[in-house]
Chain A
Amino acid sequence: MAKVEHILYGERKVYTVSAFNRGIGMHLGRLPTIWVEGEVTELRHNRAWANVFLTLKDPKTGATLAVTIARRIYDRLELGLDEGESVQVAGRAELFEQKAELAFRATTIERIGLGGHLLALEQLKRALAREGLFAADRKRRLPRVPRAVGILTGADAAARGDLVSTIAARFPATKVVLVETRVQGKGAAAAIVAALAGLAGHPEVDVIVLSRGGGSFEDLLPFSDEAVVRAVAASPVPVVSAVGHEQDTPLCDLAADVRAATPTAAATLVVPSLLETEAALTATRRRLELAVQAQLERTRSRLDRQRERLRSAPRLLLERRRASLDHAGARLQALSPLATLGRGYAIVRSGAEAVREAAVLKTGDTLDIQLASGSVDARVEEIRP
């Protein structure tokens, strides 16, 4: 914004009228958006004008405020306002700089008298909450990669465009099933319920997005209609609610599995990012390869060990045989009488029999005495039994 210039006359700062008005206008422009309520007087609109003008009057004090609203917005609200009606107007202060005239630039108008609606809505909300329709444990996880995304939308091209283009950019391999339906006014609730059923009955639709741009409280009422809220809660397919703006909370938001603040946010919720999905797939394939390689490696080394054992088996067998043979030889050696003879003993035989007792012999018998080396013949001279 242009800086507000002043002129210096010596020490005195002086502003031109335009500069002053612009400065005040800039100040006002910094004020926040607020709601103002009053009675409508002097409602002026004309097909040829870009704006609709009305005056708001405080019924108690008679204080007035000029209100301007873009005709495009006013027409879309379909309020059919009459002078004398009570309204709440959202907007911010604005200065018509040429004349330093203050006006209130409205972004939306709501008729007061919605009190009845609000009360009914609050009661419905409590009743449905008591039934458990909004309970956290009813919320379902959204599919990571839906076969098809069902989109329920009004004739609002912007919201639908945002949704579809974000889905296409994020995850092109998606199918979108679109239902355009009446979303406000008479018959909207029934139309929404029918459209929801159509989407849920589609064989490929794995998730449904309810999409509707911003609108007045009344415009959004069908999305708080009991039949719609129940249909959302009972949907066999998870539902993402992207209805109205951030500050709106139609009851279908509470019944839906997930609430999204904008159509773009809804798109981000219902499809994954292509890049992330591809990266995850590549990582999974790497694990697949590593796992099968590790398995083959284990099998191969077990095979190697088995072959080693197989090869060494005959040699082991021979060694074991030889060892047992050696052992048997040693034992045989130990039992041999020849070894005893080597230590100085002798075998005495009479005839073929070895002699164990002196009493079996008679004087004069012939003995055969075997030594470790050689043998001797001898005769018995005396017996001492």
Chain B
Amino acid sequence: MSADRSFEELQRELEEIVTRLERGDVPVDEAIGLFRRGEELYAACVERLQGAELRVEELTPEDPRT
């Protein structure tokens, strides 16, 4: 669901969901849907953090003199 989105985007969506739920004006069916989505986002964020190792990619720019 979120492989191509940045950690920051996932975290921001999670925060928005929590803020909406905290306002308390969401119908209950929608609230449960939002909660499930929030749990997924949390799991995706944690997965990104855990077990990850620094990846290094070397880039070779075109030499402007050539």
Contacts and interface: CB of A to CB of B under 8 A. Distances in A.
B35 A281 contact: no
Nearest to A176: B56
A281 B42 CA distance: 7
Interface in A159-185: 164, 167-168, 172-181
A288 B62 contact: no
Contacts of B24: 291, 294-295, 298
A174 B7 CA distance: 10
B32 A292 contact: yes
Interface size on A, as a range, is 35 or more
Interface string B1-27: 000001110010011011001101010
Interface string A140-164: 0001111110100000000000001
A173 B7 contact: yes
Contacts of A174: 52, 54-55
A278 interface: yes
A168 B54 CA distance: 6
Contacts of B39: 285, 288
B57 A190 contact: no
A291 B49 contact: no
B62 A295 contact: no
A117 interface: no
B8 A172 contact: no
Contacts of A287: 18, 22
A206 B6 contact: yes
A179 B18 contact: no
Nearest to B10: A145
B56 A288 contact: no
A147 B11 CA distance: 13
Contacts of A18: none
A169 B32 CA distance: 38
Interface in A257-315: 274, 277-278, 281, 284-285, 287-289, 291-292, 294-296, 298-299
A202 interface: yes
A94 to B, nearest CB: 42
A339 to B, nearest CB: 61
A145 B11 contact: yes
Given A145-B11, A177-B56, 5 more contacts: A172-B54, A190-B64, A199-B59, A281-B46, A292-B34
29 contacts: A145-B6, A147-B6, A150-B59, A172-B54, A173-B52, A174-B55, A175-B56, A177-B59, A178-B58, A178-B59, A179-B58, A179-B60, A180-B58, A187-B64, A190-B65, A194-B61, A194-B63, A194-B64, A198-B61, A278-B49, A281-B11, A284-B42, A287-B22, A288-B14, A288-B21, A288-B35, A291-B24, A295-B24, A295-B31
Interface of A: 143-148, 150, 164, 167-168, 172-181, 187, 190-191, 193-195, 197-199, 202, 206, 274, 277-278, 281, 284-285, 287-289, 291-292, 294-296, 298-299
Q: Shortest 7 CB-CB distances between A and B: which pairs? A: A173-B52, A291-B21, A198-B61, A168-B54, A292-B35, A190-B64, A288-B38
